[in-house]
A and B are shown apart, each in its own frame.
Chain A
Amino acid sequence: MAEALLKVYRGDEKTGKLVDYKIPVEAGMVVLDAVHYIQGYYSPDLAVRWNCKAAKCGSCSAEVNGKPSLMCKTRLDDFDLSQPIEVRPIKTFPLIKDLVTDVSWNYEVNKTIAPFKPKTENTDEWKVYQEDVDRVQEFRKCIECFLCQDVCHVLRNHDKKDLVNKKDLFAGPRFMVRLAGLEMHPMDVANRIPYIKNEAGVGYCNITKCCTEVCPEEIHITDNAIIPLKERVVDEYYDPILKMWRAITGKS
C-alpha cells in the first residue's frame, strides 16, 4: 500500500513544531482522512476542527503546503507523495492548539453589521424574482470557512483587526460578501454604505484577489462583492455628479 508522510503542526504558538506521521494511503483519501488516521492510531489528542467532511460546513480550514485549503476537499493524490505534505493551522488568527485557531474575532465583526431590514413585514406582498436574487444567492453560499480572511494580507500581514476604535479595522472579505448580500437584497432597506466605508474599511482592500483564489465556494468575492461595494461607496462619497443629481432630484 502506498504511504504518505504528513508533517503536522503540533503544539501552541510558542512551542509548536512540525511532527512526522506515516499514513497508509487509500483511494480517494483527503488530508482530513489522514489527520483522522493520526488521531485514531497515533495521537488521540491531535486537535482539529471538522464536521461535514463534504466541504459544506467550513470547519476544517488549514494551510496545506502553505496554501489555505479545506482539508476535507484536498486530496492526497493531488500531491507528489514522494515529498512530505505539510499541514499547518491558518495563520491569521491566534493559535489555540495544533490545527485549531481562535476565529472568534470574525463572530465579533459579524455582530457589528446591521441586520436585514425588510421593506414590509407582510410576506404575502413579497414578490421577489429569481433574477433579483441570483446575485445575493452567490454570496449566501458562503460557508464561513474564513479561508479568505486567512489569506487576505490586510488581516494576515497588516493585522487590521481593531474592533475597539474601529479605526484600524478591515472587516475582511467574508464580511464584504455578507454585506454585499444584504445591500443587494431587493427587499432590504437598511443603508450600510457609511458603515462599509468607515467601520468596515472597504478602502483597505487593494483588490489583489487572494480571497477569490482560495474561496472553496468559488464566490467571486472581489469582482462581485467588493468592487461593487467600492462603487457604491463612490456613489455616495466620491462622485460629485451623482451628488448633484441627488440634490436636484432627491433620488438616489
Chain B
Amino acid sequence: MVNSASMATNDNFGQTERRDAWWLAPLLTALGLGIFGIYATWAAFQGVNYEWGPYLSPFYSPLLQFSWLPRWFSPALLILPFPLIFRGSCYYYRKAYYRAYFVDPPACAVGEILPHKNYKGETAFPFILQNLHRFTFYIAVIFIAILWYDAIVAFDFGGKFGIGLGSLIMLVNIILLSLYTFSCHSWRHLIGGRLDCFSCSKMTEARHKAWSRISLFNEHHMLWAWMSLFTVGFTDLYIRMVAAGVWHDWRLF
C-alpha cells in the first residue's frame, strides 16, 4: 500500500497559504442567506398583511385556511416547509451552506474545523437525505403552477384587466422561480442526462434537445437561485407594505 497521507490533515480552521480575501465569499453567502432566513421566518409568523387586492404573497400561496387551526397559526407555516426542503436540498444551496455555515470547507485550500476522521459527507444521516432532492423538485413544480396562477390573477382587478407594480413584481418573481426550478440538476438528469445514447431513437433525440436546452440554463443555476430568492422575499415585502398601507401600489394601467 502506498503512503498517501495528506500534509494538510492537521491544518487548523482558516489555515491557508492563500493571500487573497478567501473569507469574503462565504461571509457574503452567510449574510445573504441569514438575512433572508430571518425575514422569511418573521414574515411567515405574521399571519396578516399577505394579501392586497389581487395580490397574494408567495409565502402564503396556496392559501390554506382551516377553521380548526388556532387563530395565531399562520397559514404560511403549512406550506413553507416545501420550498424550504426544495432549496435546502438543492445542489447549489448545499454548496453555499456547507461552505458558509458548516465551513466544510470554508473556501478552497483553507483549513477546516472538523477533525478529519469524522467526516461523513453525504454518505450518512442527515445529509444522505439530500439524495431525495428530486422528490422535492416534483413538489416544487406544483408550487410553480400555483404561483403562475397567482401571477396571472394579479392582473385581474375586480374583473377588469389591469397592471399594477405588484402585478409586474409577481410576474418577474414567478419567471425567476421557474428558471430556478427548471434549471435544477435533478430535472436535467431526468429529462435526458440519464441516457447514454442520445441518437438511438426519436424519443432520445427529443430528450437530448431538451437536455441541451436545460443545460444552458443549468449553467447559471446559482444566479437563478439568488435572484429568485431575492424576488420571492421582495414580493412578500411589497405586498406586505402595500397591505399595511405603508406603500401605495402604483397602477400603471
Binding site for B on A (CB under 8 A): 13, 63, 65-68, 86, 88, 91-95, 102, 104-105, 108, 127, 129, 131-132, 150-151, 153-161, 163-164, 170, 183-186, 188, 201, 203-210, 213-214, 220, 223, 227-228, 230-235, 237-239
Answer whether A66 and B134 are a contact pair too, CB < 8 Å, given A203-B122, A206-B98: no
Question: In the complex, how many residues of chain B place their beta carbon closer than 8 angstroms to a beta carbon of chain A?
Answer: 54
A-B contact pairs, 16 of them (CB 8 A): A102-B3, A105-B2, A131-B199, A153-B104, A154-B119, A156-B109, A158-B119, A161-B6, A163-B4, A170-B121, A204-B123, A208-B99, A209-B95, A223-B219, A228-B189, A232-B194
Q: Are B109 and A66 in contact (CB under 8 A)?
A: yes
Q: Are A208 and B98 in contact (CB under 8 A)?
A: yes
> Which residue from B114, B123, B185 sits with its C-beta under 8 Å from A231?
B185
Within the complex, the shortest CB–CB distance from A86 to chain B, in Å, comes to: 6
> Which residue from B5, B105, B128 sits with its C-beta under 8 Å from A153?
B105
Q: Are B109 and A203 in contact (CB under 8 A)?
A: no
The closest CB in chain B to the CB of A128 belongs to: B199
> Which residue from B91, B196, B219 sits with its C-beta under 8 Å from A186?
B196
Answer whether A206 and B2 are a contact pair too, CB < 8 Å, given A131-B198, A131-B208, A186-B196: no
Q: Are A155 and B193 in contact (CB under 8 A)?
A: no
Within the complex, the shortest CB–CB distance from B96 to chain A, in Å, comes to: 9
Query: Is B16 positioned at the interface, with any CB of A under 8 Å from its CB?
Result: yes
Q: Are A154 and B121 in contact (CB under 8 A)?
A: yes
Within the complex, the shortest CB–CB distance from B32 to chain A, in Å, comes to: 17
Residues of B within 8 A of A151 (CB): 108-109
Given contacts A156-B8, A161-B6, A164-B1, 13 further A-B contacts (CB under 8 A): A63-B17, A65-B18, A66-B16, A67-B18, A88-B17, A94-B5, A132-B199, A201-B121, A201-B123, A206-B94, A230-B131, A231-B186, A231-B193
Within the complex, the shortest CB–CB distance from B24 to chain A, in Å, comes to: 15
Cα A131 to Cα B109 with chains together (Å)? 36
Q: Are B116 and A228 in contact (CB under 8 A)?
A: no
Cα A214 to Cα B18 with chains together (Å)? 13
Cα A239 to Cα B94 with chains together (Å)? 20
Cα A184 to Cα B192 with chains together (Å)? 12
